[in-house]
Amino acid sequence: MNRFGDIDASFKRLPPVYGYHAEKLVSLEEALQAIKAHINGLPHFIKIAKQYCHFPSEHGLSHDQSAAVYIYTMEWGETTLYRVLNKALRSENRQALKIWFPYLKLFDTALDLLPTVKEGVWRGIPLDICKNFTKNQTLTWWSFNSCSSSVNVIKNFLGGENNATLFLIETFNGKKISGYTEYENEDEIILRMGTRFRVKSDILKQSNGSYLVHLIELGDNNDQPLASDINQLKLTAAPFNTSTLGNERLKTENLDKLQRYQQDIQCINAAFIEIEQRAQNHERTITMLRQDIQELQENLQEENRQKMNTLTKLCQT
């Protein structure tokens, strides 16, 4: 099972993970020191991550932060880091997570520095797990979750399985890690641990027997989607095929672009209005100055006229 299909459908009620925030930032070697006993050959994979990770980073990641992202995306078998970590994050034994706190601090601060995305992303598993999802159900994925902005990447991992379950997820806090992963062409987006979702619609069945589950990311303090325009994002229920879904994702991207353009236009219009107001203010100021100058000139002329009259009278006496 690859990380794009590492999906937990057990829906356990677990307490969130908080304690790692108090950890100090350390090197990747130090952050994973306590994990060596759980992952064979981990020092070797750390060296590979440090050697091949994306550094220097245009997003301000340190060498160790970039390597922390890279090693999360590496695959080397059953003890691959993301598998061991996510298994621990889904466990009811929250105390056992403490050995992961230094790495979680390093990984989480790296994600903080990477671009946040608001778009439809994809996951998939070559199993029929759709019966676990019902319309308007809310759920929490306690682990980190790898998604792709390209449905074709997920289709390749699913391999044409006719009992597969495909997930379309409307995320608003996803983190774009493509460029920092072992495989850059996977267009990977990470959903952070403890992300909450609502099942938006009834499960859609594909002609080949596979299923689509449509999820919306929820906010921290309520059960409402994070975007006010979420209802504008439509999905065709039938007939269902991946090319249609690709078109829907394109529509979503174009809608986002249109909204950004409209916001830009509003900003430009506001700037023009401000400039016009300033110009009008300047014109009023200039008019007032001209009036003051004219009044001063008239006063000076009157004062000079009076002085000339006085001098004329003196000369006549």
pLDDT tens for 224-275 read: 554 443 443 333 333 345 444 455 555 555 565 556 555 555 555 555 565 5
pLDDT at res. 144: 97
For the segment 28-53, the average pLDDT, to the nearest whole number, is: 97
Longest dimension (CA), the chain: 124
Burial of 202 (0-12, 13-18, 19+ CB in 10 A): middle
pLDDT at res. 252: 55
Nearest to 217, CA basis, from 204, 228, 208, 226: 226
Residues 6 or more apart in contact with residue 256 via CB below 8 angstroms: 118, 119
pLDDT at res. 140: 94
- SS3 string, 121-146, reads EEEEECCCCHHHCCCCCEEEECCCEE
pLDDT at res. 123: 94
Q: Which H or E element spans position 116? A: strand 116-125
pLDDT at res. 103: 98
SS3 label, residue 1:
coil
pLDDT at res. 300: 79
Buried b (16+ CB within 10 A) or exposed e, 109-121: bbbeebeebebbb
For the segment 144-172, the average pLDDT, to the nearest whole number, is: 88
pLDDT at res. 215: 95
Residues 6 or more apart in contact with residue 14 via CB below 8 angstroms: 90, 92, 94, 140, 142
For the segment 190-195, the average pLDDT, to the nearest whole number, is: 96
CB-CB contact of 111 with 180 (8 Å):
no
SS3 label, residue 313:
helix
Band of the pLDDT at 33, cuts 50, 70, 90? very high
CB-CB neighbours of 230 under 10 Å: 14
249 vs 115 pLDDT, higher one: 115
pLDDT at res. 193: 95
139 has a pLDDT exceeding 80 = yes
Q: How far apart are CA 171 and CA 28, in angstroms?
A: 29
pLDDT at res. 305: 81
pLDDT at res. 195: 95
pLDDT at res. 240: 40
Q: Which of 129-138, 180-189, 194-203, 267-276 has the lowest mean pLDDT?
A: 267-276
210 vs 241 pLDDT, higher one: 210
What mean pLDDT is reported for the chain?
Answer: 83
Most confident segment among 1-5, 91-95, 241-245: 91-95
CB-CB contact of 167 with 4 (8 Å):
no
- The residue behind tokens 């493509």 is 178
- The residue behind tokens 């353009």 is 261
Percent of the chain with pLDDT over 70: 78
For the segment 108-133, the average pLDDT, to the nearest whole number, is: 93
Q: How far apart are CA 36 and CA 293, in angstroms?
A: 85
CB-CB contact of 194 with 94 (8 Å):
no
Q: Which of 22-36, 172-186, 287-301 has the lowest mean pLDDT?
A: 287-301
